[in-house]
């Protein structure tokens, strides 16, 4: 059996999954161009983590599950239903941006329509929020989960501990998804944690923990799918760690060559899940040349259109400064 | 009508809201089985069940974050922070997040959360258990800060706070918990947020206070009356946003004002009130507006507490200064 069928994914589903990975990568690449052209103020990138993000989101139920993503999660938010135009609106910080109306930094994703709760710039605050949503789901007896994602750097914050502990004490339907991209801005993993893997921390909370290859979409999909099943069945939360690598600097304002080498980054690029996923689909004859070129073309057109439209939208006016401070 | 202490009135308000709105939840450290370290939530878990009134792990930041998540799902969380000095552990949840949910979501989310917490000096609790930190809260747009001075207001203000659609910091002065009783209706009622109350009418000077300093101000007014000085006492009740109109109207009438706060002096609520008065009523003033505050030190150790805390004598002295200016 093929790898994707072994985890219950059809050919069409893996193709849809790859399309989201491709869209996330292409949107991110466009963001960098727009930033360097002086059009948008800031980029905080998803590159290298798209496969993990999309595969994890694919295991969720769109429309019923809640997400509390972190700032690199372009793949998550696209997979949960945010449009490329909406991503562009938040990158440009335009008034019609559904994330925050241009109030927050780019990458602070939130959208009521998509059951997606916005985080704030200090990292890890989203975990207790997602745990609160998990408690609400349990109290309301809803068959849904609260999915929260973060970088491995966030696993050192107090809110990680406070949130996971509470979630496990009350066996809440929550999935804590750590995208371990090896760096907290400039600080490498060996100066971040002393444990072998972030998922080891699950033991201390009495919850399920596992580490998987974040470049392997099927391993990620299966781990999150199983976590969702456990959560729905009342078995409590899971801590899933997906091993990835951040291929870009931390942000458009960072120079990563001050703390890591080009050789290290190049080696990671060769293992990039975006490439290996594509190779798998080509080998399986799911991604044919014509399917791929149509896909690339359609995504490019959508990004072009979204960029133009977002650029034409007005910024929020200063008169709105007093709006939504209080009811 | 029943005679209630302030803490009984608070418990009564919580009971009313748990009964009248199934979305109201109470949680925090020791609030369930134990009924709170001051017994503010006594009996509520037995009455409403462990889903509505529950103990959390010892984790203030988690309590704040949990409240936000629950609030986005339609609940009205009423978490307790055991002592307000512990608020530093949950500052990011409060000031960084719940206060900004509405703003940063482009008005699509809100956080109808009421954080209850005991604070204030005079009961021999040392620093971190007695600090008056309302000024920190008042500096955060998006938050409302409420401080009752008596049992009747405590019940009505707490019910209004819980029903409010924005986050409210509701601070309970520990010295007032059991120091006197008031007539408190057994039915549910609201006291409007953002409205001050003229506790005592007067014509010569306005005393502006909140929390335990209202009692000290009333006591000062009674002493001043013996000397023929008629002092009006304004109880702010809501610290942020505060009722500037009532304050200014009173000062326009009396021409003199002393602002009283238990907190330290620098960058406090009293400074803000003085600024508003001089901006809006300077031509009505017969004397500079003075302040009675605690000194700018860390909250006093128990043996020095009575020296450190402002009292009615300090207020009388300041009033004499503005009268004799």
Which pTM was predicted? Answer: 0.95
Q: What is the mean pLDDT of residues B93-116?
A: 96
Give the pLDDT of residue B133. Answer: 97
Task: For the beta carbon of residue B301, count every other beta carbon within 10 angstroms.
Answer: 11
Q: Do A125 and B65 touch (CB under 8 A)?
A: yes
Does B90 reside within a domain? yes
- What residues of chain B lie within 8 A of the CB of A159, using their CB? 61-62, 65
- What residues of chain B lie within 8 A of the CB of A326, using their CB? 102, 142, 144, 166
Give the pLDDT of residue A169. Answer: 98
Average pLDDT of the residues of chain B: 97
Q: Do B102 and A127 touch (CB under 8 A)?
A: no
- When divided into structural domains, chain B yields a total of 2
Domain encompassing residue A86? 3-311
Q: What is the mean pLDDT of residues B201-211?
A: 98
- Catalytic, out of A250, A260, A280, A326: A250
Task: For the beta carbon of residue A112, count every other beta carbon within 10 angstroms.
Answer: 15
CA-based nearest residue in chain B for residue A169: B57
At B171, which helix (H) or strand (E)? strand B168-173
Tell me the three state secondary structure of residue A146: strand
Regarding whether B152 and B21 lie in a shared domain, the answer is yes
| Ordered alpha helix ranges (H), A170-232 | 201-205, 217-232
Q: Does B34 touch chain A (CB under 8 A)?
A: no
Give the pLDDT of residue A2. Answer: 84
Q: Using the predicted structure, report yes or no on whether residue A119 has a pLDDT greater than 90.
A: no
Q: Are A119 and A68 in contact (CB under 8 A)?
A: yes
Does A327 reside within a domain? no
Regarding whether B201 and B173 lie in a shared domain, the answer is no
Does B229 reside within a domain? yes
Q: pLDDT: is A40 or B126 the higher one?
A: A40
Give the pLDDT of residue A61. Answer: 98
Does A51 reside within a domain? yes
Regarding whether B239 and B148 lie in a shared domain, the answer is no
Residue A134's alpha-carbon distances to A181, A289, B32, in angstroms, are 26, 43, 20
Regarding whether B266 and B226 lie in a shared domain, the answer is yes
> Tell me: the pLDDT tens digits for A253-311?
999 999 999 999 999 999 999 999 999 999 999 999 999 999 999 999 999 999 999 99
Regarding whether B148 and B102 lie in a shared domain, the answer is yes
Regarding whether B160 and B35 lie in a shared domain, the answer is yes
Q: Which of B125, B158, B184 is the last residue of a domain?
A: B184
- Residue B185's Cβ-count burial label (10 Å; 0-12, 13-18, 19+) is middle
Rama region for A9: left / alpha / beta (φ>0; ψ in -120 to 50; rest): beta
Regarding whether B68 and B210 lie in a shared domain, the answer is no
CA-based nearest residue in chain B for residue A104: B104
- When divided into structural domains, chain A yields a total of 1
| Beta bridge pairs of residue B170 | B116, B146
The ipTM assigned to this model is: 0.92
Q: Alpha-carbon distance A316 to B46, whole Å? A: 50
Q: Which of B184, B219, B254 is the last residue of a domain?
A: B184
Regarding whether B144 and B202 lie in a shared domain, the answer is no
At B263, which helix (H) or strand (E)? strand B257-264
Q: Alpha-carbon distance A209 to A177, whole Å? A: 10
> Distance of alpha carbon A78 from its chain centroid, rounded?
9
């Amino acid at each position: 059996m093929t790898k994707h069928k072994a985890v219950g994914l059809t050919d069409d589903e893996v193709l849809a999954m790859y399309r989201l990975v491709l869209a996330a990568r292409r949107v991110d690449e466009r963001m960098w161009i727009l930033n360097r052209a002086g059009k948008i103020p800031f980029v905080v990138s998803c590159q290298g983590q798209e496969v993990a993000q999309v595969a994890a989101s694919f295991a969720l139920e769109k429309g019923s599950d809640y997400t509390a993503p972190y700032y690199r999660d372009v793949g998550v938010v696209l997979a949960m239903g945010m449009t490329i135009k909406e991503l562009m609106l938040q990158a440009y910080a335009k008034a019609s941006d559904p994330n925050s109306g241009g109030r927050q930094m780019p990458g602070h994703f939130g959208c009521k329509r998509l059951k997606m709760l916005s985080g704030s710039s200090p990292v890890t605050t989203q975990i207790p929020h997602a745990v609160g949503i998990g408690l609400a789901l349990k109290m309301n007896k809803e068959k849904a989960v609260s999915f929260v994602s973060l970088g491995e750097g966030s696993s050192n914050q107090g809110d990680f501990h406070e949130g996971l502990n509470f979630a496990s004490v009350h066996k809440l339907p929550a999935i804590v998804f750590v995208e371990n991209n090896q760096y907290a801005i400039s600080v490498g993993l060996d100066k971040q944690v002393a444990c072998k893997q972030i998922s080891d921390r699950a033991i201390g909370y009495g919850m399920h923990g596992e580490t998987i290859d974040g470049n392997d979409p099927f391993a990620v999909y299966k781990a999150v799918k199983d976590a969702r099943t456990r959560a729905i069945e009342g078995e409590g939360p899971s801590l899933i760690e997906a091993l990835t690598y951040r291929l870009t600097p931390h942000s458009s304002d960072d120079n990563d060559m001050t703390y890591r080498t080009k050789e290290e980054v190049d080696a990671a690029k060769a293992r990039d899940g975006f490439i290996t996923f594509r190779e798998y689909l080509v080998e399986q004859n799911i991604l044919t040349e014509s399917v791929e070129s149509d896909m690339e073309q359609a995504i490019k057109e959508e990004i072009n259109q979204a960029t133009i439209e977002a650029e034409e939208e007005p910024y929020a006016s200063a008169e709105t400064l007093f709006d939504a401070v209080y009811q | 009508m029943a005679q209630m202490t302030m803490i009984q009135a608070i418990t009564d308000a919580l009971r009313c809201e748990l009964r009248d709105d199934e979305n109201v939840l109470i949680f925090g450290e020791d609030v369930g089985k134990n009924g709170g370290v001051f017994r503010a939530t006594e009996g509520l878990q037995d009455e409403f069940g462990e889903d509505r009134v529950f103990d959390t792990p010892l984790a203030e930041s988690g309590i704040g974050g949990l409240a936000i998540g629950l609030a986005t799902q339609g609940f009205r969380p009423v978490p307790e922070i055991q002592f307000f000095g512990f608020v530093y552990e949950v500052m990011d949840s409060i000031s960084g997040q719940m206060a900004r949910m509405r703003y940063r979501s482009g008005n699509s989310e809100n956080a109808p959360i009421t954080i209850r917490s005991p604070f204030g000096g005079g009961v021999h609790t040392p620093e971190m258990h007695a600090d008056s930190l309302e000024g920190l809260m008042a500096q955060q747009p998006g938050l409302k800060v409420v401080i009752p001075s008596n049992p009747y207001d405590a019940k009505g203000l707490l019910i209004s706070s819980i029903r409010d659609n924005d986050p409210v910091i509701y601070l309970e002065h520990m010295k007032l918990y059991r120091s006197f009783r008031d007539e408190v209706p057994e039915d549910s009622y609201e006291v409007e947020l953002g409205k001050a109350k003229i506790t005592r009418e007067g014509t010569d000077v306005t005393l502006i206070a909140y929390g335990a300093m209202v009692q000290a101000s009333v006591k000062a007014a009674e002493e001043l009356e013996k000397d023929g000085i008629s002092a009006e006492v304004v109880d702010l009740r809501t610290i942020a946003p505060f009722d500037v109109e009532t304050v200014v109207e009173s000062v326009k009438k009396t021409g003199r004002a002393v602002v009283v706060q238990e907190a330290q002096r620098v960058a406090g609520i009293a400074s803000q009130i003085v600024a508003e008065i001089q901006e809006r009523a300077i031509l009505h003033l017969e004397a500079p507006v003075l302040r009675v505050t605690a000194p700018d030190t860390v909250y006093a150790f128990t043996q020095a507490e009575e020296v450190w805390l402002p009292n009615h004598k300090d207020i009388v002295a300041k009033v004499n200064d503005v009268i004799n200016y």
